[in-house]
Amino acid sequence: MTLITDPTPGHTIPTAAAAPRGEYPRPDLDRSARWLTLNGDWRFSSIDGESTITVPFAWETTDSGIARTWLESATYRRTIEVPRDWDGSRFALCFGAVWHRAIVSVDGVPVGEHIGGYTSFEFDITDHLTPGRPAELEVEVEAPADKRTLVHGKQRSIPRDDYDGVSFTPTSGIWQSVWLEARGRTFARSVELRGDSRTGIDIAVRVAGDAIEGASVVALVVDGETHERVELTCDADGRARGRIELAAPRTWTPADPHLYRVEVATTSGEAPDVVVATTGLRTIEVRGEELYLNGERLYVRGVLDQGYWPTSGLTAPDDESLVHDLDLARELGFNLVRKHLKFEEPRWLHAADEMGMLVWAEPACPSRHSDKAAAAFAAQIAPMVERDGNHPSIVIWGLYNEEWGLDWDIPGSSSRAAAAAAAYDALAAIDHSRPIVENSGWAHVRTDLVDWHYYEPDPATWARSVADLASGARQDFPVRLGPDFVVDKSLYGSPDFPRSGVPILNSEFGEGFTSLERAWHVRWQTQELRRHDRFAGYVYTELADVEHEGAGLVDGDRRRKDWGGLDPADSNAETVLIVDLVPERAGADFPVPTGETAFDVRLSHHGASVVFGHVQAAWVSAGRPFRSVTASSDSVPDLRDTVTSAGLTALPFVVSEPVQVTVAPPSGPARLLLWFVHDDGYVIARTFVDAADVEPHNRRGARQGQAS
């Protein structure tokens, strides 16, 4: 980051390097040539008195220095000053997010108000600042404890509601970065880029400032050796649309995530305003019950991520931690992250663009239903698309989650169903370049994807239920909403919604009380989803633990758990083995055999071409992982007594017919490693099964009936 120095002798403006979360917050809409971070220490006033808070961390977090829950209002203050060389520019005061209501003043003069704790906002404060002269910035925040009809995601509420058991410490106050930007007197207020044609970039600009009508906008591709451009003229509303044709277009794919940087220069009789926006060329389409990315079949192998850290809550403690979660998801074999009930920072989305990770993006919800709550939820839709729509990594838009904000009951009233449908229509009218899910998990009334959330600890029940959902034999499943509250939730909230012809995928699953059990369920539950070609994908729940939720593959500090020798990347690979077995216990998939045992094994392959090869198997000591017998990910394990199946051929996106692997009995408890060797000699799929004593559950002392 370049040091910004004020011309006043002896006065240096604090730089981003010295501030917490001091990175430029919008690399996807880059004005970093002239900006100032306002993160750092602010004066903080509340009913508790005067103190200092570290922005941008919510006041409930320890990283904020406050660590105070159930504080319903507070005031932030600090001195701001823009450099003298910003004279003649406009000054934009930008907020990543503030929960819930922010009232902003400069030197005691109100400059704006914003309601909505997850959406970004900004105010033009040009008329309130003089370059080189300090001013007092004040942000009054209201953060109601009763959040039930407010957009609050998984924050706890007082009074508590039915969602309290799956909610976390609240996030109040400023919880994303605050900064100042210098802009031209007439500037690009928003820049929309779309590469859905895959041959060029469609551009829409909305300008603001002194002279919007007739303002000139030049959009120039600044990547590589080519510099395609388009010149536009704004109408009376300050809007301009056009298209940049690309001579040699390069698509954005997970394997080759090529991004285009487009410099947008706006002039209207003065020095130009310049911003560099980023996008990629890609399409995501629904064709019948299948998804296609750039015209090629896509199977979603996703993980749910709540973006939460132990000491800093919804705000990543540092940029490295923010981006590390994407790297971690990829290492675990996932190709998509469902960012749950949260608009994540643009830096995270930009990193997903750069690395080729697909994203399912969704807003936070209220918990109770009312006209006011539905309006507050809908008010997030346009800001979501305006801020994040340029990101090629976003391939699915989500809206409501499990009827949160719809009282867990879309079928129970026409008004709740209408609210879900209205949210879909509102989003589709703005941006239907991605499939939209109007109510993730349950009771769909208007959606481009039928997704379902299902948690089941018994492997046999899971396998039967998944098979029945795939075949259409059943359309509902049990959901435990409380200790004494189980309901049957349907995939469909309307008799008019088609029962076929729309992609169907699981978007929440996972079980296990301990980390070993969870790894066991990863192996078996994921293979059952892969067994059925009808499904368009899955989203495992979840990446990392959050407070009392221990469902993560890693803990809250992102430390790997004990996976019992499993490498989750094997279960989430493009190509996986499916063993025709219903396992009995974690660590004891089946009893130790006393004679030869035959296993039927299938291959689920989601590559672009047919694969040919053989399944091989060998016993190793109990609990021994593949990595201890494999020199590299592409080599064949060097094991004695390896057996080989007959040849197996797998077509793309068609589960193969089974081949049989017959093995001699081990001498005692052991692990059977199974791997598929391509005819070219490299391994493309791995799994294992454990043979051990299947001990009955110990229920000694259990109450046998009610006391008389």
pTM of the predicted structure, to 2 decimals:
0.95
What is the structure's pLDDT at 501?
97
pLDDT-derived band at 313, boundaries 50, 70, 90? very high
CA–CA dist 261, 263 (Å, integer): 7
- Largest alpha-carbon pair distance within the chain? 91
CATH 2.60.120.260 domain span(s) along the chain: 16-181
Average pLDDT over residues 58-68: 98
What is the structure's pLDDT at 1?
34
Average pLDDT over residues 48-65: 98
Q: At residue 353, what are phi and psi to the nearest 5 degrees?
A: -55, -45
CA–CA dist 490, 502 (Å, integer): 15
Q: Determine contact, residues 333/572, Cβ cutoff 8 Å.
A: yes
CA–CA dist 364, 381 (Å, integer): 11
| CATH dotted code for 16-181 | 2.60.120.260
The closest of 463, 594, 481, 464 to 523, measured between CA atoms, is 463
Average pLDDT over residues 397-410: 95
The correct CATH number of 285-572 out of 3.30.70.3450, 3.20.20.80, 3.40.50.720, 3.30.1330.10 is: 3.20.20.80
What is the structure's pLDDT at 631?
44
Distances (CA, A) of 469 to 379, 475, 478: 34, 6, 12
- HSE-CB of 236 using CA atoms within 13 angstroms: 0
Tokens of 427: 């989003």
Q: Determine contact, residues 423/377, Cβ cutoff 8 Å.
A: yes
Average pLDDT over residues 505-510: 97
Q: Determine contact, residues 397/388, Cβ cutoff 8 Å.
A: no
The closest of 1, 42, 73 to 177, measured between CA atoms, is 42
Average pLDDT over the chain, rounded to whole?
A: 94
Q: Determine contact, residues 122/94, Cβ cutoff 8 Å.
A: yes
Average pLDDT over residues 622-629: 86
CA–CA dist 316, 344 (Å, integer): 10
pLDDT-derived band at 10, boundaries 50, 70, 90? very low
CA–CA dist 158, 144 (Å, integer): 9
Q: At residue 424, what are phi and psi to the nearest 5 degrees?
A: -60, -50
Tokens of 54: 């570290």
CA–CA dist 289, 632 (Å, integer): 37
The closest of 254, 277, 293, 281 to 197, measured between CA atoms, is 281
Q: Determine contact, residues 191/275, Cβ cutoff 8 Å.
A: yes
pLDDT at 65 over 80: yes
Among 6-10, 14-18, 184-188, 411-415, the range scoring the smallest mean pLDDT is 6-10
Cis peptide before 83 (omega within 30 of 0): no
Among 191-205, 398-412, 496-510, 621-635, the range scoring the smallest mean pLDDT is 621-635
Q: Determine contact, residues 64/57, Cβ cutoff 8 Å.
A: yes
Taking domain 577-691, whether its CATH number is 2.60.40.10 is answered by yes
Torsion angle in degrees (nearest 10) through CA of 575, 578, 583, 585: -10
- 109 Cβ partners below 8 Å, 6+ apart? 128
Tens-digit pLDDT profile for residues 19-30: 999 999 999 999
Tokens of 92: 């934009």
CATH 3.20.20.80 domain span(s) along the chain: 285-572
pLDDT at 267 over 50: yes
- 171 Cβ partners below 8 Å, 6+ apart? 58, 60, 99, 117, 155, 313, 314, 315
Residue 703 amino acid letter: R
Q: Where are the beta strands (DSSP E) in 459-610?
A: 476-482, 485-490, 504-508, 537-540, 575-579, 597-605
Proportion of the chain above pLDDT 90, given as a percent: 89
Tens-digit pLDDT profile for residues 158-190: 998 888 889 999 999 999 999 999 999 999 999
| CATH class of segment(s) 186-271 | mainly beta
SS (H, E, C) 141-153: EECCCCCCCCCCC
Tens-digit pLDDT profile for residues 630-663: 644 456 666 778 999 999 999 999 999 999 999 9
CA–CA dist 239, 244 (Å, integer): 17
